[in-house]
Amino acid sequence: MGGGGFTDRSRPPDRAVLTVNLQKIRNFSIIAHIDHGKSTLADRILEITGALSAREMSSQVLDSMALEQERGITIKAASVRLTYRAADGGDYIFNLIDTPGHVDFHYEVSRSLTACEGALLIIDATQGIQAQTLANAYLALEQDLVIIPVINKIDLPSADPDRVITQVEEVLGLGGEECLMVSAKEGVGVAELLEAIVERVPPPQGDPEAPTRALIIDSWFDSYQGAVPLVRVFEGCIRKGDLVKFMSTRSEHQILDVGMFTPHPAELGVLGPGEVGFLTAAIRDVSDTKVGDTVTLTRSPAETPIPGFQEPKAMVFSGLYAADSGDFENLRSALDKLQLNDSAFTFEPETSGALGFGFRCGFLGLLHMDIIRERLEREFDLTLIFTAPTVVYRVVLNDGFVEEIESPARLPDLSRVDHIEEPFILGTILVPSEYVGAIMKLTQEKRGVQRSMEYLDPQTVQLVYELPFSEILFDFYDKLKSITRGYASFDYEHLTFRTSDVVKLDILLNEQPVDAFSTIIHKEKAYYYGRALTGRMRKLIPRQMFEVIIQAAVGNRVIARETIKALRKDVTAKCYGGDITRKRKLLEKQKEGKKRMKNIGTVEVPQEAFMAVLDVGREVS
């Protein structure tokens, strides 16, 4: 366990004393494009340092949640403290700080990197640099981290390390001779990698006597210990028993325990400069332990927090309703529970004329939304209706006031509106050069404006676009994948709001507008979207005992119309003594099915129709 040659941590003294030599600490992250081998390499490192037995190695430890394993991404950082005896005979402490591996979590990645002095940049030798390789490398460079380029999967026959070395030199401006050749899968080159960490990653610095400043790089909820932040100490110390203050929220807590995962949780008693560990303090709420916030001591507080803190900001919103309205309370408690572990996820009650009581939920991005949806359905066994996701629009009113709306239903009366602004992103696409034409076509459809185009090497092109965020909400990823046969990679960061010619499109069922179907959409796309959506709904809404008219309208102007003819015959020809039980059950089933539909006015609408909005977005945009 834990401290290795430094100190016996198993029974910390009342006033724990700092014994760790700063020179022997190495704080680093592994950064990579998805699937380039980050988890595999982390496992290998844990194995070689002896932190885990072979039996424990059976599953990838850092990707602990089942969902993450399935999607192959790490959502929440899970970091470990390892001991490593180097070739020079010294015992080192490695803090391997995990980072979430997806575009939705840029901010979290940047905070994790702040806690490091170095980063292992993994590049798949068969794939070369991808969009997230670049995005992550830039983040690391911004933090002045030492980057160790690691070319992985050299065991594969299709590996082309020379090409990757050239890319590293030309694209990242790093020395080709710095690249390490590794097969994480077979363990080749990992020993050399550990030595390189010792040699190249600088030890942390920091005055143990200065006022304490520690950066929160992650936090999670534990049902016994409450909200638990993971921190990196920059100056001063945090000890068991200390009264600490979280500088952004100003909340104060008494530290019950200080520890770290090795990867088994181990008590440390004290964290000094350069050290990484978790604090337990019976904190009730994860919203008190915000990633990027600074922890200091109440007794002798630091004057300024560590720069760079941002409140988590939801970027994508969607209405969330229980398919069975009786499940409303269950849904609320499920959302409460999810939020305990995920402060980036927001929700507040909303009422829809069509769907009843539900919640307007905010997510960092689409992937984040998918994760939450799956967890709700899987862990809480709820059947849900999600309305079409929307970005935040800034509505500038005639009187100069600005309203930010997260739901099309809240769009103010247009006579009061001067103009509407929508958020734009800066998207980076890396793609083999033969697909450049297809990308240009796609981005044009998506209202993108090219900022730059650059050959990273003769086969790889980097295209940078400004795009309305709303345009990547529906099918951008799917389309990108299909038009490039999976060879394109994409990453984005948020830019600013810009004036845009958007309109609100309403769907009416038998003349009644259905709020859950309303969307805000660019004027030029409204017509096609309206046509596609009404057509799709005609197929999804079953025939009823009367005619159903579906209309799409912008303002008072109807732009598309479909009719579902009245059902005229649904009758069982025969029902005798031996048929009664069976026929009754059939009718009962029919009624059950009906219960699962939503009554909108007199029209019964199946849940799939609400999802159709999503699919149509896919077809149209």
Ligand X SMILES: Nc1nc2c(ncn2[C@@H]2O[C@H](COP(=O)(O)OP(=O)(O)O)[C@@H](O)[C@H]2O)c(=O)[nH]1
Site for other proteins, rule CB under 8 A: 545-546, 567-578, 580-581, 583-584, 587-588, 590-591, 594
* Burial class of 246 by CB neighbour count within 10 A (0 to 12, 13 to 18, 19+): buried
Binding flag, residue 587, ligand X (CB under 6 A): no
Among 2, 37, 128, 448, which residue interacts with ligand X (rule: CB under 6 A)? 37
Q: How far is CA 214 from CA 106, 482, 531, in A?
A: 20, 45, 55
Among 16, 20, 25, 34, which residue interacts with ligand X (rule: CB under 6 A)? 34
Specify the residue, 441 or 594, whose C-beta has the smaller distance to other proteins: 594
Specify the residue, 402 or 567, whose C-beta has the smaller distance to other proteins: 567
Binding flag, residue 40, ligand X (CB under 6 A): yes
Residue 185 site contact among other proteins, ligand X, none (CB < 5 to 8 Å, cut-off depends on kind): ligand X
Residue 152 site contact among ligand X, other proteins, none (CB < 5 to 8 Å, cut-off depends on kind): ligand X
Residue 378 site contact among other proteins, ligand X, none (CB < 5 to 8 Å, cut-off depends on kind): none
Query: For ligand X, what does the binding mask look like between residues 64 and 103, x meaning CB under 6 A?
Result: --------x-------------------------------
- Token pair of 296, please? 């200091």
Specify the residue, 122 or 541, whose C-beta has the smaller distance to other proteins: 541
Q: What is the DSSP string of 82-131?
A: EEEE-TTS-EEEEEEE----SGGGHHHHHHHHHT-SEEEEEEETTT---H
- Token pair of 127, please? 């794939």
- Token pair of 368, please? 């984040």
Region at 31 (left for phi over 0; alpha for psi -120 to 50; beta for the rest) = beta
CB of 568 to other proteins, least distance (A): 6
Q: What is the DSSP string of 503-538?
A: EEEEEEETTEE-GGG-EEEEHHHHHHHHHHHHHHHH
State the number of binding residues for ligand X (CB under 6 A): 16
DSSP annotation of 183 reads B
Binding flag, residue 39, ligand X (CB under 6 A): yes
Specify the residue, 158 or 581, whose C-beta has the smaller distance to other proteins: 581
User: According to the 3-state scheme, what is the secondary structure of 267-287?
Assistant: ECCEECCCCEEEEECCECCHH
Residue of 307, 375, 300 lying closest to 341 (CA atoms): 375
CB of 428 to ligand X, least distance (A): 19
Residue 36 site contact among other proteins, ligand X, none (CB < 5 to 8 Å, cut-off depends on kind): ligand X
Specify the residue, 39 or 318, whose C-beta has the smaller distance to ligand X: 39
Among 9, 24, 26, 153, which residue interacts with ligand X (rule: CB under 6 A)? 153
CB of 187 to ligand X, least distance (A): 9
Specify the residue, 15 or 582, whose C-beta has the smaller distance to other proteins: 582
Binding flag, residue 337, ligand X (CB under 6 A): no
Residue 160 site contact among ligand X, other proteins, none (CB < 5 to 8 Å, cut-off depends on kind): none
Q: How far is CA 298 from CA 213, 239, 245, 276, 471, in A?
A: 11, 12, 5, 20, 47
Q: How many residues make up the chain in this entry? A: 621
Stretch in the footprint of ligand X (CB under 6 A) among 80-88, 131-139, 152-160, 358-366: 152-160
Binding flag, residue 169, ligand X (CB under 6 A): no
Residues 6 or more apart in contact with residue 571 via CB below 8 angstroms: none
Beta carbons of 245 and 279 less than 8 angstroms apart: no
DSSP annotation of 597 reads S
Residue 590 site contact among ligand X, other proteins, none (CB < 5 to 8 Å, cut-off depends on kind): other proteins
The phi, psi pair for 474, rounded to 5°, reads -90, -80
CB of 233 to ligand X, least distance (A): 28
Stretch in the footprint of ligand X (CB under 6 A) among 179-187, 312-320, 548-556, 581-589: 179-187
Among 47, 91, 155, 324, which residue interacts with ligand X (rule: CB under 6 A)? 155
Residue of 365, 385, 372, 384 lying closest to 316 (CA atoms): 365
- The contact set with ligand X (CB under 6 A) reads 32, 34-40, 72, 152-153, 155-156, 183-185
